[in-house]
Chain A
């Protein structure tokens, strides 16, 4: 049955309710209670389910102190409503993608909060380490030219925000990449990440009067030394390039096509 489109001004009460309990009320202490309320929603109603998913994916809307509680609640809810896990993660990944396609500074704060939230969702096992690395590699490859003479609108020379996004995500969940395949993946990624950092850092756009932002340099260094205290950081772009060549030559047979997959994350189109 067709219902007339509702006037936009007033949000339906149930939407307001979901927004309020998830984004205003939720904290560690009342999580059980709010989880019970969320479970009681009529999930068979597609509109209710869509709104709930949108708000569960809205990790950037909550206070930083409530972010983990929202992630845990989402993970627990996903046990009962199986649509929740893929739909929430897909929504967040789409937001990350859209804000790379439109890297307007108005989204910056939100982007940081969103990737931290994604990291928390990984900590509650809503996604695999592979998925986290897909996002990490997308930050350092999507629209990235790796060539200072060819400037990308998606990754402008003086936009260093993606370095902060990588660090924010690694800060949230990188500590768990400490064994097995995820440890290996992080080691490889850190080589490629350093390469991206040096690509940005050595861009000729930076001059004495217009310097590479020092706080980004600190965030980058702290992120890497926290994750891998014994790692010797590369000190030039050339060193990174050499390291990547070496990695390809010595480890490629063992890696199979995996590393190439990761390398190609920027181009996700169904090509062949």
Chain B
């Protein structure tokens, strides 16, 4: 199942963690745009059941590996503000799960 080529494929999907819980996809995109060439983007709101660990997060799969480092340099440690001025220090990491969804969607006949 696990092919050799897979093992040596570079990591391209990153997660930007610890974003403000009230942040929306729109405000996130406003703040980080332009995101270098990418083929996957997913913004997730916090899980309300995780008590005091409420953070939004975003996943990006970059097309060019070099862009990851530029993005990391810019946003790892970047202070994001929520609308009340609360400060949230973003963390950029490789996503532990590198799989992404394909762009083309099968139409569900339902």
Judge whether B93 and A270 touch: CB under 8 Å. yes
Judge whether B101 and A50 touch: CB under 8 Å. no
Interface size on A, residues (CB 8 A): 47
Judge whether B99 and A85 touch: CB under 8 Å. yes
Judge whether A90 and B94 touch: CB under 8 Å. no
A90-134 residues with Cβ-Cβ distance < 8 A to B are 90-91, 93-95, 97-99, 101-102, 104, 106, 127-131, 134
Contact flag A80-B108 (CB < 8 Å), given A54-B47, A87-B44, A90-B15: yes
Contact flag A268-B93 (CB < 8 Å), given A98-B50, A258-B7: yes
A52-104 residues with Cβ-Cβ distance < 8 A to B are 53-54, 79-87, 89-91, 93-95, 97-99, 101-102, 104
Which of B44, B68, B94, B96 has its CB near the most chain A CB atoms (within 10 A)?
Answer: B96
> Nearest Cβ distance between residue A269 and chain B, in whole angstroms?
5
Chain B interface bracket (under 10, 10 to 19, 20 to 34, 35 or more): 35 or more
Is B84 an interface position by the 8 A CB rule?
no
> In the complex, which residue of chain A has the Cβ closest to the Cβ of B14?
A270
Contact flag A102-B52 (CB < 8 Å), given A86-B99, A127-B97: yes
Collect the chain B residues with CB atoms within 8 Å of residue A181's CB. Answer: 1-2
A250-272 residues with Cβ-Cβ distance < 8 A to B are 256, 258, 265, 268-270
With beta carbons under 8 angstroms apart, the residue of A39, A85, A130, A268 that contacts B101 is A85
Interface contacts (Cβ under 8 Å), in number, total: 104
With beta carbons under 8 angstroms apart, the residue of B52, B68, B95 that contacts A90 is B95
> Nearest Cβ distance between residue B40 and chain A, in whole angstroms?
8
Collect the chain A residues with CB atoms within 8 Å of residue B94's CB. Answer: 268-270
B5-61 residues with Cβ-Cβ distance < 8 A to A are 6-7, 14-15, 17, 25, 40, 42, 44-45, 47, 50-53, 57, 59
> Nearest Cβ distance between residue A105 and chain B, in whole angstroms?
12
> Nearest Cβ distance between residue B72 and chain A, in whole angstroms?
5
Collect the chain A residues with CB atoms within 8 Å of residue B45's CB. Answer: 50
A–B pairs, 28, beta carbons within 8 Å = A36-B110, A39-B110, A40-B110, A82-B106, A83-B42, A84-B101, A86-B40, A86-B100, A86-B101, A87-B42, A89-B97, A90-B15, A90-B95, A93-B97, A95-B47, A95-B50, A98-B50, A104-B51, A127-B97, A130-B6, A181-B1, A181-B2, A268-B94, A268-B96, A270-B68, A270-B69, A270-B76, A270-B93
